[in-house]
Amino acid sequence: MAAGPAGSFFWHSDLRSGMFPANQVERKKTKTIYFRRPNMNWYYADQGQQTGPVTEEQFTELVRTGRIQPDTLVWREGMAAWAPYRQAGAPPHPSTSAPADGPGFVAGQNPEAVCAECGKTFAIQDMIHHSGPTGGIYICANCKPVFLQKLAEGAQINTGELNYAGFWIRFAAKFLDGLILGVPMMALFILVMVPQLRSGQPSSAIFLPYLLQFCFIFVQMAYEIFFLGKYGATLGKMACKIKVVKSEGGPIGYGRATGRFFAEMLSGMICYIGYIIVAFDGQKRALHDHICNTRVVFK
């Protein structure tokens, strides 16, 4: 095997002829088959902070310019844990146990990890580490009894890998949220508008729909920011058992929830194309997920 074009390898297959007379030159036929590597998104640790995702080409450029050193921690999908760049290029041996850093590892001077049970972020020193066939995971102190009970009973445990929610389950959650907010607002609209129309003062009723629309947007913003920031899921998402997390699986917090609300408005303004791309994205991301680096996953 030898290097081929950029991003590929090729394999030489030699087919030699049988016995030749002494005066005949031996002929050799070479067949070249190209195998192209899939384009992967990479993450790397820069001054104790997780950076990414970057494409394969961008990652190669970072290595060339010296931004990524041999001892820089890197990670991509398919890797069981963060690893130094000098080790990440070689495929792991099946019998090799996973390093201590599980899929939820967050690089830094005080390393943290995401609990595979509750999805919250804690300092590694306050967590237990469990190594399994799929790699290492971290469990916080609060979830430790439940996790050990699952191990004792042989129940299925969370491996820490993100199980992305698809288009239709996200549509169902959004539909439920629309009912939760829309029905009370529609009732309020009727209670306010009907008396105004009966009073014979249509001039005052002209501005009421705009006022109610503004109130609806404000209530919707407060609703989504509060529930996503505190619980990672609105009531509709809770009913569908999905939640919004960061790319490594941690909670998004109020700041990212606020940015995600306004980014979601952009997804709707472009004929809802920002929502539709969920069906075609490998990680089931909408436009606002791309902007805010979030994922919608099953609990």
The domain segmentation of the chain, as residue ranges, is: 2-36, 42-153, 167-298
> pLDDT tens digit string along 232-258?
999 999 999 999 998 877 889 999 999
Tens of pLDDT, residue by residue over 161-181, are 778 999 999 999 999 999 999
Determine phi and psi for 29, rounding to 5 degrees: -110, 130
pLDDT-based confidence at residue 59 (cuts at 50, 70, 90): confident
* Tally of CA atoms within 13 A in the half-sphere of 245 that contains its CB: 26
pLDDT at position 10: 40
Work out the pLDDT band at 135, boundaries 50, 70, 90: low
- Which pLDDT does position 39 carry in this prediction? 55
Tokens of 39: 């384009």
Greater confidence, 94 or 222?
A: 222
**Where do runs of H (alpha helix) occur along the chain?**
56-64, 85-88, 144-153, 167-198, 202-206, 208-230, 235-239, 253-269, 273-276, 287-292
pLDDT at 89: 57
Asked if residue 78 lies in contact with residue 41, where contact means CB atoms within 8 angstroms, the answer is no
pLDDT of residue 137: 75
What pLDDT was estimated at residue 13?
40
| pLDDT at residue 228, as a whole number | 95
Residue 127 confidence class, pLDDT cut points 50, 70, 90: confident
Asked if residue 220 lies in contact with residue 182, where contact means CB atoms within 8 angstroms, the answer is no
Identify the top-confidence range among 99-103, 105-109, 190-194. 190-194
More confident: 59 or 217: 217
